[in-house]
A and B are shown apart, each in its own frame.
Chain A
């Protein structure tokens, strides 16, 4: 198991390297960070443009820039992924990409974590209930909800939920849901209970938005997987042993039906990260999604690449964890 883990971690390195090349080339080809300067009226001093280009290392060739971005060797000390430096920003000379990411990471992780946990929990629950009551009214209702959720565009649904929150607050007469901001500032200096209610107020609505699509697709998946297991011979044998129904469902059906879900959840990480961009914008969170949008608007290629590398690493990591978890859950794939 340990050997396998080490081998898988080492195996992730070439994948990450390839991801970095792709990220770099695509971003590099997608636009000129100095475009704004070039079209500015009145035109700025050519010297200003020249200085800016030098600051952003745009005076060097593409392979050289990739090398710089990765290692930082030959740069001005503000670049080099392997040294933990993400490079200069177009937004301003003082804008520190690394510090910004560090500051926003917690905000986004909080949202992603909550969405993952609730999407997974609810998906398993509805999947199991649907499978056990296949073709019942409840199953049809849950199926309808699932497909409705899948069909709804996130940006529209986000706006809808926010509006609903506002209306609810007006109805009850107190700001029950916070519909703007991430609540980090408001939580300062509160008691643990206060921090909890504060988080509840700020997080509920964005979490609902972010988890919706994942919940819907995972619950459909869990339903299929559960149905397959419920009709399997070993579940029948478990019943024939005389085990009570709830034990059969929990111990024999659910336990094995969860195995394939790990892969699906790992792949679904990418969708959740995607979702943060829109969700954070709508609810005006200062998270990594917002960071990404800012970077796009400012044509900030190093910030963009930092974000892409970070999300890419997360997805690769999630898949690695899923693979290892698979080995733990399924003895047939246990590794040496």
Chain B
């Protein structure tokens, strides 16, 4: 995965272009819209060599995907593309559709984000792979199918002969993404562009798909452009990085250089706003204030200037060029063909030196706005965290079970089976504590959250709030208690009624619980202020706010009735990194200030490590391990927890490439038919590699109970062993 050697000749100035497979030069994309032209990509230039991997990092709207679509000629009609992109010396910008279709798939292939929608539902997997072969090779159908089979084997799909004849809906997301990778490598292209190839997948599956992608590269020798917002994925998989912001590349260089010595405040800010698996709990995050610029109203100078703590007069007036810094600290023009060159689009990049994100972005005083938490003390708050053993239990769950019926398709819709979404879990949420419920999609964590709030009916088990049983209450009896138990949703775009003003949205719970108009209005002002929004913006509608601000509105609504417990269902997973940090800080501050208890449902272990006091890991409806955050991340005992932690990419190139990995194979089994005994055994690396046949019998026959390892650290594995992973 390295291509940083053999480049000395170029530093001397004799540029060797023989091994350049993709050269992008001054590429710009403008969309015609009713609001005038939107400049989505501006003057992007980069060079990709044979076998090299380039990461393009940026938040949504930074133009990272549009750049690649422009190279592939896949942009809609209203896009105007200028500049140049040469694939193996051939210009591809401005080609007719017939001309570029000879290049696509043959020399340059692409992998898209969502594997669930990337394949045509009406054709078999084999047909769709063979089609890619037939598009460029004059071979028989049978030959193409043979090649499809070979490709499926290469990307690691079990039973490829059967899979060939199946339709996409019969395959899991991870498998479908591997099929897309197989299609991309079908004709051994020189360049593969992967646009967020693992964003829609669970972490353990992400690791498998990245492995398949690397296998594809080894096999075809293709160079890779990896587009992602995930700094961890970039750190482990590319040689060079280009950071995009506001449609431009604002920093580029070898991955270690950019991660350890960033020269652009934005890159530094991104790294600082990231909750990290390898950082301590509750180390204060340093969000970047403000929101990314709107494409229709770009600032005249540096597009990052409005959010940059270093910004001076010059930054607001003059757009900085992408330049390198020489040994004297002067900004000099960088050679784009030099893979070791590190350049940044910042007038003052030389001044950045070795500063840490905290030096630059820790706010001295807090104003209202995206990055602003209500009350930012600025310090780490590990010291203020409650003693994990202390605190009265506020919400207790014992042996909670939820079965969903599977019904027949006929007229009578008879019940023909059951899905056990939650099968017998026990939890305890304590006063002023954050309990995180983590697991991959389909593990039952969101169902559990809804069961706790009595939003859906349990099948069996008990839920107590402060000693009072909730599971026996009628909806009417439950209503007064809903004041104390509130919910924040995942999607800030879907959870706010677009036709209500923000003030009405926040006041709705107050109205339902009988608050008068005047006092409700006062309270709304207080609440908006509390979550760091301008109270005067109450008369606006949700679409006028950014994602992070909307999530703050959602939090304000949840806080309206002074609840004791907040259930947060993936509250930051829909937000960009720089925005997410601000919301996390807000949640932490609110907890300290208001003494709230959080049940934090999430798939993101980095965020959980940062925010939680205690963690419960779920797999297929069961809790497999629970303990304090330190116990769970410092000494994970269950093989599943270990696999989860080891699958999360660290945003640190050296650590990420040298750490030990525990790889989980396969996909999560169907909850309608879970494996006997231990539910994890079908994917368990310990079961497969370490246990003897006699030992395995126990895993197959006897479901493991949660057992105490001492001091409140429980795990459900017959043969658990603590491992240190971070």
Q: Is B132 an interface residue (CB 8 A)?
A: yes
Chain B 158-171: CB-based contact to A (< 8 A → 1; otherwise 0): 00000000010100
Q: Is B15 an interface residue (CB 8 A)?
A: no
Q: Is the CB of A11 within 8 A of B114?
A: no
Q: Pick the contact of A239: B74, B120, B169 (CB < 8 A).
A: B74
Name the CB-closest residue of A to B76.
A231
Given A236-B74, A243-B135, A330:B101 Cβ within 8 A: no
Q: Is A5 an interface residue (CB 8 A)?
A: no
Q: Is the CB of A7 within 8 A of B410?
A: yes
How many whole Å from B682's CB to the nearest CB in chain A? 26
A contact residues around B180 at 8 Å (CB): 237
A contact residues around B321 at 8 Å (CB): none
How many whole Å from A4's CB to the nearest CB in chain B? 9
Q: Is A147 an interface residue (CB 8 A)?
A: no
A289 to B167, CA, bound (A): 46
Q: Pick the contact of B122: A11, A233, A237, A329 (CB < 8 A).
A: A329
Q: Is B110 an interface residue (CB 8 A)?
A: yes
Chain A 321-333: CB-based contact to B (< 8 A → 1; otherwise 0): 0000000011110
Q: Is A232 an interface residue (CB 8 A)?
A: yes
Given A236-B74, A331-B167, A332-B169, A245:B101 Cβ within 8 A: yes
Q: Is A137 an interface residue (CB 8 A)?
A: no
A259 to B132, CA, bound (A): 24
A contact residues around B114 at 8 Å (CB): 233
Q: Is the CB of B101 within 8 A of A239?
A: yes
Contact residues of B between 90 and 125, Cβ < 8 Å to A: 97-98, 101-106, 109-110, 112, 114, 117-122
B contact residues around A232 at 8 Å (CB): 117
Q: Is the CB of A243 within 8 A of B131?
A: yes
Chain B 122-146: CB-based contact to A (< 8 A → 1; otherwise 0): 1000000001100110000000000
Q: Is A240 an interface residue (CB 8 A)?
A: yes
Given A240-B74, A243-B131, A256:B120 Cβ within 8 A: yes
A303 to B472, CA, bound (A): 61
Chain A 253-277: CB-based contact to B (< 8 A → 1; otherwise 0): 0011001000000000000000000
Q: Pick the contact of A237: B119, B121, B187 (CB < 8 A).
A: B119
Q: Pick the contact of A242: B77, B104, B112 (CB < 8 A).
A: B104
Name the CB-closest residue of B to A14.
B411
A212 to B642, CA, bound (A): 66
Chain B 35-74: CB-based contact to A (< 8 A → 1; otherwise 0): 0000000000000000000000000000000000000101
Q: Is A19 an interface residue (CB 8 A)?
A: no
Q: Pick the contact of A241: B117, B122, B131, B411 (CB < 8 A).
A: B131
Q: Pick the contact of B72: A134, A240, A329, A330 (CB < 8 A).
A: A240
Name the CB-closest residue of B to A232.
B117
A332 to B167, CA, bound (A): 8
Q: Is B553 an interface residue (CB 8 A)?
A: no
A234 to B122, CA, bound (A): 11
A252 to B168, CA, bound (A): 14
Chain A: residues with Cβ within 8 Å of the partner, total of: 25
Interface residues on B, range: 20 to 34
Q: Is the CB of A330 within 8 A of B122?
A: yes
A236 to B101, CA, bound (A): 12
Q: Is the CB of B106 within 8 A of A242?
A: yes
Q: Pick the contact of A233: B98, B106, B112, B187 (CB < 8 A).
A: B112
Name the CB-closest residue of A to B103.
A242
Q: Is the CB of A242 within 8 A of B135?
A: yes
A contact residues around B74 at 8 Å (CB): 236, 239-240
B contact residues around A236 at 8 Å (CB): 74, 112
Q: Is A238 an interface residue (CB 8 A)?
A: yes
Q: Is the CB of A237 within 8 A of B410?
A: no
Name the CB-closest residue of B to A4.
B409
Q: Pick the contact of B118: A11, A234, A259, A335 (CB < 8 A).
A: A234
B contact residues around A238 at 8 Å (CB): 120, 131
B contact residues around A252 at 8 Å (CB): 120
Q: Is the CB of A242 within 8 A of B120?
A: no
How many whole Å from B120's CB to the nearest CB in chain A? 4
Q: Is the CB of B118 within 8 A of A241?
A: no
Q: Is B470 an interface residue (CB 8 A)?
A: no
A237 to B135, CA, bound (A): 13
Q: Is the CB of A241 within 8 A of B183?
A: yes
A255 to B410, CA, bound (A): 27
Given A7-B410, A329-B122, A332-B169, A240:B110 Cβ within 8 A: yes
A134 to B101, CA, bound (A): 22
How many whole Å from A234's CB to the nearest CB in chain B? 4
Q: Is the CB of B410 within 8 A of A234?
A: no
A252 to B102, CA, bound (A): 18
Chain B 173-213: CB-based contact to A (< 8 A → 1; otherwise 0): 00000001001001100000000000000000000000000
Q: Is A192 an interface residue (CB 8 A)?
A: no
A contact residues around B183 at 8 Å (CB): 237, 241
A134 to B76, CA, bound (A): 11
Q: Is the CB of A242 within 8 A of B105?
A: yes
How many whole Å from B324's CB to the nearest CB in chain A? 34
Contact residues of A between 6 and 24, Cβ < 8 Å to B: 7, 11
Which positions in B face A, CB cutoff 8 Å? 72, 74, 77, 97-98, 101-106, 109-110, 112, 114, 117-122, 131-132, 135-136, 167, 169, 180, 183, 186-187, 409-411
A–B complex contacts, Cβ < 8 Å, 6 sampled: A236-B112, A239-B72, A239-B74, A241-B109, A330-B122, A331-B169
